[in-house]
Amino acid sequence: MEDTRIQVEEVMELLKERKFSELRSRLSEIQPIDVAQILGEVPEEKLLILYRILPKEDAADVFTEMEPEEQETLIRAFNEREIQEILEEMYIDDAVDLVEEMPAVVVNKILRHASPETRKEINELLKYPEDSAGSVMTTEYMSLKSDMTVADAFERIRRNADEKEDIYTCYVVSPQRMLEGTVSLKDLFLTSKDTLIGDLMETNIISVNTLDDQEEVAKQMAKYNLTTIPVVDKEKRLVGIVTVDDAIDVIQEENTEDIEMMAAITPTDKPYIDTGLFETYKKRIPWLLLLMISATFTGAIITKYESALGAYVILTAYIPMLMDTGGNAGSQASVSIIRGLSLDEIQFSDVFRVQGKELMVAVLCGFTLALANFFKLIFIDRVGTIIALVVCMTLLFTVVVAKFVGCSLPILAKRIGFDPAVMASPFITTIVDAISLIIYFQLASHILHI
């Protein structure tokens, strides 16, 4: 970011001095995504000039990496030829992303100038629901036929490589476009030229369906170490591929979503820094309100035991410690389980194993904390032994309940079809707070005879 600022100044300086050819050669030495970041920082009125200075072969790559705001500015300024050029150069999945991000009037301008073929492809891909495999795939894969020889395949790859997003895994399709097998380019190199593709191809294929969630696509690619995965329709016809760079984006998006949900924030696709004030407010306030209302139950419990508290005000002093420790113990358990579920390391059938383990860990943690606290209560706070016992027993029970609730709720949530990430710290904290206060006051009224 600091670097970008310096580069932006240099670019603006060269532009001011009208040193266009030096500017062009400087920009050609920088990676497209970095050029896109620089262009994101220059004044809007300079954007088109700078874009037109870019070396032709880099322009489409730079354009693809830009933020939607700058893309929109450029398209509004582009002439017909420039729009056609950019659409021909872009991969079809990137063109679809572009169309999805632009306002209707800009989309019209794009589609009006697109070649009929490109327009048809874009419209086909726009049909798929958001976040489905179909919506992230590209149709520019390399296909082969099973009756080709390796030599034929090489010839076909050589002729078509330019317009394909990936040529390193080739897909063998039947005349009805059924996916029959895959052949890696590496295998083609290692086989004699007259081998038939049908004899060489791998028929044990991992594929996804157009309507599968993009998260499923990324998981399959990660599990099987794939750099591309085929996407098939209901009739098992090959319709596209997803490439690994898109899968990485999906993985990061899904992780952000999980983390946001765990912190009681409604997830969006936008980076924090690009999210507006009111939008940020809207992502947070419903959860804060909901959790505030549920926290009032905790208040009701305290009110119920008001007379006990009047007699032993000292008990109030340990409420925050008990609540915080319960919340922390519960969120350790719930977050571990949520992550395990999200990485498919934990299944519903593991529920008893998980609960057993958490209970034992809870007893260990609970005893350690209660012991440490007992010494502190007796020797530092100098409260009576009875009060110390009430506090420490509550602590032990709270930790056990917290870890049990914390590990169980996410698994149950997943089982009944909810996102387990909702069951993270804030919800667990609210539940555990109430339970720990009830334990506290029950113990206190029995032991202290209030």
Q: Is 49 in the site for a second copy (CB under 8 A)?
A: no
* Cα(381)–Cα(413) distance, integer angstroms: 42
* Residue 94 · residue 64 · CB < 8 Å: yes
What angle, rounded to 10 degrees, do the helices at 68-77 and 104-113 form?
Answer: 60
CB of 417: closest distance to a second copy in angstroms? 17
Looking only at residues 166 through 225 of this chain, which bind a second copy when binding is defined by CB under 8 A?
A: 167-168, 185-186, 189-190, 204, 206, 221-225
Positive or negative: CA dihedral 184, 187, 189, 192: negative
Which residue, 53 or 244, is less far from a second copy as judged by CB?
244
Which residue, 35 or 173, is less far from a second copy as judged by CB?
35
Looking only at residues 136 through 155 of this chain, which bind a second copy when binding is defined by CB under 8 A?
A: none
Closest CA to 228 of 196, 205, 256: 205
- The token pair at 446 is 């029995």
CB of 202: closest distance to a second copy in angstroms? 10
Q: Which of 346, 405, 423, 435 binds a second copy (CB under 8 A)?
A: 346
Looking only at residues 400 through 439 of this chain, which bind a second copy when binding is defined by CB under 8 A?
A: 425-426, 429-430, 433, 437
Q: Is 163 in the site for a second copy (CB under 8 A)?
A: no
CB of 78: closest distance to a second copy in angstroms? 24
Q: Is 62 in the site for a second copy (CB under 8 A)?
A: no
Looking only at residues 65 through 124 of this chain, which bind a second copy when binding is defined by CB under 8 A?
A: none
Count of residues of this chain found to bind a second copy when the rule CB under 8 A is applied: 113
Contact region for a second copy (CB under 8 A) — 73-81, 112-120, 327-335, 412-420? Answer: 327-335
What 3-state DSSP class applies to 295? helix
Pairing of strands 238-243, 179-184: unpaired
* Exposure letters 103-129 (e unless 16+ CB within 10 A, then b): eeebbebbeebbeeebbebbeebeebe
Which residue, 79 or 349, is less far from a second copy as judged by CB?
349
* Residue 426 · residue 373 · CB < 8 Å: no
Looking only at residues 4 through 23 of this chain, which bind a second copy when binding is defined by CB under 8 A?
A: none
Contact region for a second copy (CB under 8 A) — 16-24, 39-47, 128-136, 336-344? Answer: 336-344
Positive or negative: CA dihedral 156, 161, 165, 168: positive
Looking only at residues 227 through 266 of this chain, which bind a second copy when binding is defined by CB under 8 A?
A: 227, 244-245, 247-249, 251-252, 255-256, 258-260, 262-265
CA 88 to each of CA 57, 108, 157: distance values in angstroms, whole numbers, following the listed order: 12, 17, 19
Q: Is 60 in the site for a second copy (CB under 8 A)?
A: no
